[in-house]
């Protein structure tokens, strides 16, 4: 027996509508993460597209574009790979300021292992910034977000209780064309 599953665009649109309903004014920070970082990034792209379709300012960034140099990452370990100072100083804080404040969506190229030239971006007073890779194993970043989405795939062993706990929305992305919203709360 086949079970009905929502289309991807419907699930993403419902999530975008929820975010805009709760945070329609001002600058809003949304984290998207999950065990499969690539799937979370794609979901983040789709969320931004849906926010644009709703005629709302939306922008993308990735924590992976704010990494420390390779030697420093290896010395510190995986949990400290992000240059949190640069992330806050160049992306989060300027975005939150609103108005004519500009922010930098990427500061480091991990493949080339070097900083990138700053590309300053501005946006409207009411805008959403969707950042992927910001939840798992990064407790210091957990308090930055107005809203968090946890995207998980078919491997139940990949579930991070930390990421799930911080998320306002959990998405079962086992079938990427038919993702489902999970309500993982208890009374």
Average pLDDT across the chain, whole number:
89
CATH class of 8-182: alpha beta
Check the CA dihedral 32-34-36-39 and report its sign: negative
Q: Taking the CB of residue 91, how many other CB atoms lie within 10 A of it?
A: 25
Q: Where are the domains of the chain?
A: 8-182
- pLDDT tens column, 162-174: 778 889 999 999 9
Give the per-residue pLDDT at 137. Answer: 60
d(CA 18, CA 136): 23
The confidence band for 184, taking pLDDT boundaries of 50, 70 and 90, is: confident
pTM flag (> 0.85) = yes
- pLDDT tens column, 90-106: 999 999 998 889 999 99
3-class DSSP state for residue 79? helix
Write down the residue that tokens 């929502």 correspond to: 6
Ramachandran area for residue 27 (φ above 0: left; ψ -120 to 50: alpha; else beta): beta
């Amino acid at each position: 027996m086949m079970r009905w599953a929502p289309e991807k665009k419907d699930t993403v649109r419902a999530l975008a509508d929820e975010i805009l309903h709760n945070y329609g004014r001002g600058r809003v920070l949304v984290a998207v993460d999950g065990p499969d970082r690539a799937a979370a990034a794609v979901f983040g792209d789709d969320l931004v597209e849906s926010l644009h379709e709703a005629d709302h300012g939306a922008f993308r960034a990735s924590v992976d574009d704010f990494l420390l140099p390779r030697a420093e990452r290896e010395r510190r370990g995986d949990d400290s790979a992000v240059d949190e100072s640069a992330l806050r100083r160049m992306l989060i804080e300027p975005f939150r300021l609103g108005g004519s404040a500009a922010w930098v969506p990427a500061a480091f190229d991990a493949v080339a292992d070097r900083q990138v030239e700053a590309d300053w971006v501005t946006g409207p007073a009411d805008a959403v910034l969707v950042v992927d890779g910001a939840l798992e194993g990064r407790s210091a970043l957990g308090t930055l977000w107005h809203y968090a989405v946890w995207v998980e795939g078919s491997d139940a062993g990949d579930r991070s209780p930390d990421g799930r706990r911080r998320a306002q929305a959990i998405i079962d992305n086992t079938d990427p064309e038919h993702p489902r919203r999970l309500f993982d709360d208890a009374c």
